[in-house]
Structure 1
Amino acid sequence: NAVAATELARYSAQVKESAEASAELAKRLHETGNWNRLEQSREQSFYADAALEYANAKNAEVRAYEALARQLGVKASQLTIQSRLPDLPKSLSELQAFEQNAYEQRLDLLVKRSEMDALAKQLGLTKTTRFINVIELGPARVLEGRRSEPYKKGIDIAFEIPLFDWGQAKVPRAESIYMQSVQETAQLVTNAQSEIRERYNTYRTKHDVTRHIRDEIVPLRKRILYEDQLRYNGMLTSPFELFGDARAQVQSVKGYIESLRDFWLADAELQATLVASPRLMEGQ
């Protein structure tokens, strides 16, 4: 957040600078009678909006730095951070392997497994007869190679818990209490699976959107600006069209920074599901 806020403030300054130059030129042309009041007012209005956006961007930068400083327990003036956000990763984590890692590492699931072990001992259940997978997922279909090639079977995703030989004593009560815990565990795992898939979908979507902005929108805006510069040099277009396309290019870069920030936030939220439920970490 702090790195993105710094980048956004920097680009907001560029927009403001461009708008100021455009507004000044419009003012001079209007004073010489070569520009009407309507067009001059439009340029002045854009400059006013750009100045307001820059002020908000600088405020957002200060707030982001102070929030980071509070989390680290230092003064904001002591912070030294990167000048720009990391680029998009070339490859993304696969959902299945991520899910299995989460089931093995999540604190809420580890606590539940420990509670079940303690409950089994309390009920006098010692002889394990078999293990059941509370997820009950079949083999995944994984595509390797080209799309024309057949699918192969992937890994099974499992969260296994033991079932016991209930013995002769206290059978109804012991079985009932333990199986109730089994159902609670199954619900906990189902919720974890849902949370992981939700965060993973956001993670993939943010990646695709950011890549589209980077590979399509930003280069297109840059190409338009370049063509306008050629036309302006040949006196085939007005400086205001050039200013407008320059602002559009900077705005597209700002959009990319915001999207890249949202991707890395989504990545952090996805990684957090390896630790525990988001609701648990948010104190809910």
Structure 2
Amino acid sequence: MPSSRQTSPPWPSRARAGFFIGLAVALASAQAQPMGALDAADPVHPGTPPPPLVLPTTVSADTPAPPDNIAQARAIWQRANQRVAEFPRGHIDLLRWESRQPDDTATTTSGAQAAPGLDFAQALRLSLRHRPELFTHADMNALARAQVRVAYAGHVRELRRAWIDAIATRQRERLLGDVLDATRSGSELGRRMVTAGNWSQARQMREQLIEASAWQASVSARGAAIAAQERLAQKLGLWEAQTVSRLGEQLPPGLPTPPAQPEPGEGLSPAMLEATALSRHPTLANERLLAQRELAVPVPSRQQAWRDAVTAALDAMPEPGPTATPPHIADLNLLRDHAVQRAASAEAALLRQASERRSMARQAWAALQLRHATALHAQDVVARLQTSLEQETLLRYNGMLQSSWELLASARERLASLDAALLARRDFWHAQADWQAVLAGADYAGPDTSTSSSATTVAPAGH
């Protein structure tokens, strides 16, 4: 996975200094080895309280009462029109301006947030400070060293996934906050129209339901961001609440754009993938050598006799059913030939492992290509079409050919397409982490099920 340093703009020296000061604090905390570990496990240690959880304001279920008479409705409508006339784009500009006026609670992007942030190489080094079992040692034999290599490859994969999720969930939280803002504009505009008397309360309730759904999605995204940050903190060995709360600010602002083409690796071609996965497995070559030795012991005629006995047992096996029994070999002379048995067992075990490794390589590479195609399609086709559609809707709105509701619905659809593109990008980097782990000797983690948390779609208002 490429470093975020390649895609992030330069950042000020003050921001750089602030970031590295924060990172140095985290590193110092991890380096305080036995005292830090003892403090972390001591219930008497007070620790530091986590920052308060800040959620968006909740949605009201109340609807405004319509005007009592025509004169009151006319007066309300005249006041609203006078205020709207001050803005070139009417109601939408008015609502956006008002949302910024009384209390601008939007968090200003700090220097740490604008910085390239904690890249994966730094995170990996930090995580390994409390994983001594993932270090190889000079006195290890080949088998022990191979086992550490497999465990290390699995750790790198899981840490990379946690790092990706921590970045993506923060980015998604901001995006779904924008969706909530768009729905609130529609709800507020509907409330004013009900107050003026030219809209029913039923139509306003539909806008409030859309806003309520967006609020739930925004809060869920906040919870996912907290959970992902905590998972990453666990893998990094960070335990103080204040240090963990600042971890998100040290992450890159977003995931890198997927490359133009999925790459199997430096110097690799698609034809070499299975062979590479086999050659890089730490113990497979040794197991192949042991199986080769076992197969060389029995005479060929005895091995052929065993194969014939297996074939005969399979042919005589009853049809599958409730009373079916496994295949049976009755030749005791053959069964007591230990050389034949060891050779057959070694050959079968090696075949199972080799077929699994080849299958893992094919699955991981196919998943990487599929996730790459999906990410580029969501980014370059769907999101681009939704953006163009919103721009066209805005032009028609300015020409008084479409309503404010159609403009708000178009904005929500564009944000939903950006959410889908973000999830597709996250899934691509997950697949990239899985592929690199397979090449390093770890097992394939299986199909990525994270796409079950699909993009939040906000239904357009039916006006």
Task: State the TM-score, normalizing by the size of structure 2.
Answer: 0.47
Q: Are positions 1:44 and 2:227 aligned together?
A: no
Report the Cα distance in structure 2 between the residues aligned to 1:216 and 1:196, rounded to whole angstroms. Answer: 29
Q: Which has the larger radius of gyration?
A: 2
Alpha-carbon distance, 1:108 to partner: 4.5
- Given that 1:108 and 1:277 are in contact with CA atoms closer than 8 Å, whether structure 2 keeps it comes out as no
Q: 1:26 to 1:188 in 2, by over 3 A?
A: same
Q: Are positions 1:262 and 2:427 aligned together?
A: yes
Partner of 2:184: 20
Partner of 2:372: 207
Structure 1 outlier segments of 4+, above 4 Å: 114-121, 172-176
Q: 1:249 aligns with which of 397, 414, 429?
A: 414
Report the Cα distance in structure 1 between the residues aligned to 2:286 and 2:220, rounded to whole angstroms. Answer: 45
Unaligned 5+ residue runs, structure 2?
1-164, 298-336, 446-463
Report the Cα distance in structure 2 between the residues aligned to 1:118 and 1:277, rounded to whole angstroms. Answer: 26
Instruction: Please list the CA deviations of residues 31-58 of structure 1 after superposition, one character each: whole Å capped at 9, or x if unmatched.
Output: 1012222321111111111111100000
Report the Cα distance in structure 1 between the residues aligned to 2:217 and 2:353, rounded to whole angstroms. Answer: 45
Q: 1:77 aligns with which of 242, 245, 261?
A: 245
Question: Which stretch of structure 1 is more off in the superposition, 179-188 or 258-267?
Answer: 179-188
Aligned-residue CA RMSD (Å): 2.5
Alpha-carbon distance, 1:175 to partner: 5.9
Instruction: Report 1:168-247 matches (<5 A).
Output: 174=339, 177-178=342-343, 180-247=345-412
Report the Cα distance in structure 1 between the residues aligned to 2:255 and 2:442, rounded to whole angstroms. Answer: 26
Unaligned 5+ residue runs, structure 1?
124-171, 280-284
- Given that 2:364 and 2:444 are in contact with CA atoms closer than 8 Å, whether structure 1 keeps it comes out as no
Q: Which amino acid aligns with 1:67?
A: R
Report the Cα distance in structure 2 between the residues aligned to 1:211 and 1:103, rounded to whole angstroms. Answer: 30
Percentage of identical aligned residues: 28
Report the Cα distance in structure 1 between the residues aligned to 2:362 and 2:189, rounded to whole angstroms. Answer: 53
**Partner secondary structure for residue 402 of structure 2:** coil
Q: Which amino acid aligns with 1:24?
A: E
Task: State the TM-score, normalizing by the size of structure 1.
Answer: 0.74
Instruction: Please list the CA deviations of residues 161-211 of structure 1 after superposition, one character each: whole Å capped at 9, or x if unmatched.
Output: xxxxxxxxxxx7546534542332122101111122122222211111111
* Number of equivalences: 232
Partner of 2:217: 53
- Given that 1:85 and 1:260 are in contact with CA atoms closer than 8 Å, whether structure 2 keeps it comes out as yes
Partner of 2:273: 98
Instruction: Please list the CA deviations of residues 205-264 of structure 1 after superposition, one character each: whole Å capped at 9, or x if unmatched.
Output: 111111111121111101110011111111221111101100100000000000111111
Report the Cα distance in structure 2 between the residues aligned to 1:16 and 1:37, rounded to whole angstroms. Answer: 21
- Given that 2:294 and 2:339 are in contact with CA atoms closer than 8 Å, whether structure 1 keeps it comes out as no
- Given that 1:210 and 1:259 are in contact with CA atoms closer than 8 Å, whether structure 2 keeps it comes out as yes
Report the Cα distance in structure 1 between the residues aligned to 2:283 and 2:260, rounded to whole angstroms. Answer: 32
Q: Are positions 1:87 and 2:257 aligned together?
A: yes
Partner of 1:147: none
Q: Which amino acid aligns with 1:192?
A: R
Q: Which amino acid aligns with 1:73?
A: G
Report the Cα distance in structure 2 between the residues aligned to 1:278 and 1:206, rounded to whole angstroms. Answer: 15
Alpha-carbon distance, 1:116 to partner: 4.2
- Given that 1:29 and 1:35 are in contact with CA atoms closer than 8 Å, whether structure 2 keeps it comes out as yes
Bigger strand share: 1
